[in-house]
């Protein structure tokens, strides 16, 4: 079920570029949030040690 969400047919993407851009934006945003969470965890570990 999750794999179907991740895979976007190229033909559909060519016809509908807007949802693909939105998907890409959300992906980048998630990567940024995960990176920030990892950095905060490292800072927290340095403070607690």
Taking residues 9-23, report their average pLDDT.
72
Q: Can you give the pTM of this predicted structure? A: 0.46
pLDDT at 19: 77
**Res. 47: pLDDT tops 80:** yes
Q: Determine the number of helices (DSSP H) and then strands (DSSP E) in the chain.
A: 3, 0
pLDDT given for residue 3 in this prediction: 52
User: What are phi and psi for residue 8, nearest 5 degrees?
Assistant: -115, 125
pLDDT of 4 above 60: no
How many angstroms separate the CA atoms of 32 and 44, rounded? 18
**What number is the average pLDDT over the span 16-23?**
77
């Amino acid at each position: 079920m999750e794999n179907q969400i991740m895979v976007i047919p190229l033909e559909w993407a060519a016809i509908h570029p807007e949802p693909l851009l939105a998907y890409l934006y959300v992906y980048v945003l998630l990567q940024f949030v995960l990176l920030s969470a990892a950095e905060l965890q490292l800072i927290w570990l340095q403070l607690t040690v």
